Chains A and B, each alone.
Chain A
Amino acid sequence: MDTVFGIPGGAVLPLYHELAVSGLRHILTRHEQAAAHAAEGYARATGKPGVCIATSGPGATNLVTGIANAYMDSIPIVAITGQVGVAMIGRDSFQEADITGITMPITKANYLVKNIRDLAATIHEAFYVATTGRPGPVLIDIPKDVTTQRAAFQYPPKLRLPGYRSRVEPHVLQVAQAAAAIQAAARPLLFVGGGVITSGAHEEVRQLAEEQDIPVVISMMGKGAFPENHPLFVGMVGMHGTVAANYAVCETDLIIGVGVRFDDRVTGKIEAFAPQAKIIHIDIDAAEIGKVVPAHIPIVADARQALQAILAKLPERKEHPEWRQRIWRWQEENPLRYDECGLKPQYVIEELYRLTEGRAIISTDVGQHQMWAVQYYPVERPRSFLSSCGLGTMGFGVPAAMGAAVARPGETVVAITGDGSFQMNIQELATLRHYNIPVKIILLNNGYLGMVRQWQEFFFERRYAYSELGGNPDFVKVAEAYRLPARRVASREEVVPALQEALETEGPFLVEFLIDREENVFPMVPPGGTLNKMVTGGRQQ
């Protein structure tokens, strides 16, 4: 950890006073929410904890969305907030907010440090808790007067966490059961999620898939956990998953769920999810097992350790040619497709993929563009696709890309965003410029809160109630006002040259694409529907 993101204010002035000479890099964002998302981007791109700092009261509450976002996606961040002086707490003092109370349900742990003697130990504990077990956000609230006191520093401060279990060994018996179930299955399916990336288990996943000839589906958090150009890769499951992936879930007789939490966007109607399947569920968090779907073979453990243990119990090779062929047929018969006329967002992303050779780190905002990015930008490496999956937070994309670009200098980082989402943290253009952070912004402008409009088209009689973004600014001029180079693209022919220019220009760059305004995301499983009933194209009448 070498960089922190934040905004100073009265309650953290003493802290900033020291920070300035600490040797840590501090990035001054323009909104605390962006600081939290940037810390997340940093953590998602590296696995190291991200840190954000805010002052008391409004500074602290501005972090809340980012903290909730990190909580839903199990991202290790440490949020440090200033608090009014100890004697002032509880009196509705100027810029006071009970931030530990507010963030209790969205942090893995949080602390109010009332005594300087506890500070070092608390910080140590906070980082330990944030990064171990199932990672998550931790908040440390520090009253202003505590930051001005002095105390003797000892390192490492002793941890006292009698109730905390960060390591869990896979149970031998359950590992044996899992291995037996895998051997007995005729149509096994690996379903991998964010836990695989967190625990660094992607090699084990690949080994299991290849040796046992098991097709692989992912959740959105699992993007990057398995190379998407691999012949055994089937696609993402769920509401905007691929036809083949969703059919595979409906037909499989054994789901090996690794580091997934069976989100309702994934399962569709729960009673109809994987109706023929036995379920092996591997998760480090015992509370995930049985939370949504019953697991026949639960394994509470680190994904990597569990897979290693299972692999050791399996014979060298096995094949399921029929099952694989069946899935390949589904894939062949139902490719992702779109209508080629006009300026299509899918085309933009395909060309971006081609020009970056699939090697960019992609962050997305939330909406249709997010789904197109999932569908048309296949990734091969873990930690190269950053998206707000659990909370679905618009405004995440640009600051997260900023965090990733700071954490992994030298890599191409692209934020794919929509005109709605972009405006939720548009002020961060200033931060990108100020620090010359080389984030390329691909703005897919459809003049709508597109995903909302799509739902209204399908489920609300095409009454586009307040989803049209009237009054959008001239985004190219906005970028230029922030002194970022920018291009607007209105036709298919201009796509490649503009992308090339963006990628070749040093530093940040914005390309706005005026895409077909009513383009939809397909396939789509209607909310609460079953996975084998997808709308795959055309306007629903």
Chain B
Amino acid sequence: MKRTLSVLVENRPGVLTRVAGLFSRRGYNIDSLAVGRTENPSISRMTIVVDGDEQIIEQVCKQLNKLIDVIKLSDITDDPHVGRELMLIKVNAEPAVRGEIMQIVDIFRARIVDIARNSLIIEATGDADKIDALENALRPFGIREVVRTGKIAMLRGAKTKGMEASGDGTGD
């Protein structure tokens, strides 16, 4: 079972190591982890896709929640959300097959962003299924290199998984 976790963390040094380290130390599998800062520069958002049974996911969430740098964690798998991944893919493209590749690129609403003599770089965004499908469609031409960002996600509608934190806050 794959779950998508949306995690707000303090933008402090070491946060990424702490989160990634927690996964390896406890023997959990990360499918993907994407991180970047939010509208508030002191806070970053991580989108983590984990694979595991219910008990593992529960432990992952509890252990993540314990980290002092983790401000808020939400499992958004079952909430309506937009999930996207960016892929750059370099394929062999002899002039004879370019037309065919461009057709595929069109069908997937992807874009060609670089052309060399014998290869192309294609940029695509979408959910993991679409990206996988495109990769498969291009495989027969010979894939030279693939770079994927891992999933990022945002809830649909006005709802936010916002900054309201549940912790000790300031003062004390």
Contacts and interface: CB of A to CB of B under 8 A. Distances in A.
Contacts of B167: 161-165
Nearest to A101: B17
Contact of B13 (A112, A160, A290): A112
B10 A163 contact: yes
A291 B59 CA distance: 7
B37 interface: no
Contacts of A128: 172
Contact of B168 (A105, A109, A165): A165
Q: Give the interface centre of A129, A160, A163 by most chain B CB atoms within 10 Å.
A: A163
B171 A162 contact: no
A160 B170 contact: yes
A167 B167 CA distance: 9
A161 B172 CA distance: 10
Contact of B169 (A108, A112, A162, A289): A162
Nearest to A294: B55
Contacts of B172: 128, 159
B58 interface: yes
A286 interface: yes
Nearest to A100: B14
Interface in B116-172: 163, 165-172
Interface string B1-40: 0000000011001100110011001000000000000000
B62 A162 contact: no
B45 interface: no
Nearest to A291: B59
A287 interface: yes
B74 to A, nearest CB: 13
Interface stretch (B63-71, B80-88, B103-111): B63-71
Contacts of A289: 62
Given A159-B171, A287-B59, A290-B59, A104 B18 contact: yes
B55 A290 contact: yes
Contacts of A161: 68, 167-170
A158 interface: yes
B171 A158 contact: yes
Contacts of B25: 105
B170 A287 contact: no
A391 to B, nearest CB: 15
B72 interface: yes
A163 B55 contact: no
Contacts of B65: 286-287
A166 B168 contact: yes
Contacts of B18: 104
A109 B165 CA distance: 19
A40 interface: no
A105 B171 contact: no
A343 B62 CA distance: 50
A285 interface: yes
Given A112-B13, A129-B68, A162 B165 contact: yes
A195 to B, nearest CB: 15
A112 B168 CA distance: 22
A129 B69 CA distance: 12
Contacts of A164: 68, 167-168
A163 to B, nearest CB: 4
B13 A163 contact: no
Contacts of B69: 163
A141 B106 CA distance: 54
A366 B50 CA distance: 38
Given A161-B167, A162-B167, A104 B68 contact: no
A159 B170 contact: yes
Contact of B21 (A104, A158, A287): A104
Nearest to A109: B68
B69 to A, nearest CB: 6
Interface in A272-330: 285-287, 289-291
Contacts of B55: 290
Contacts of B14: 100-101, 104, 112
Contact of A163 (B17, B71, B170): B71
B117 to A, nearest CB: 41
A158 B169 CA distance: 10
B67 A163 contact: yes
A164 B165 CA distance: 9
Nearest to A110: B14
Nearest to B13: A112
Ranked 7 nearest A-B pairs via Cβ: A162-B165, A287-B62, A163-B71, A164-B167, A161-B168, A109-B68, A162-B71
15 contacts: A100-B14, A108-B68, A128-B172, A158-B170, A160-B170, A161-B168, A162-B165, A163-B67, A163-B68, A163-B71, A163-B72, A164-B68, A165-B166, A165-B167, A287-B63
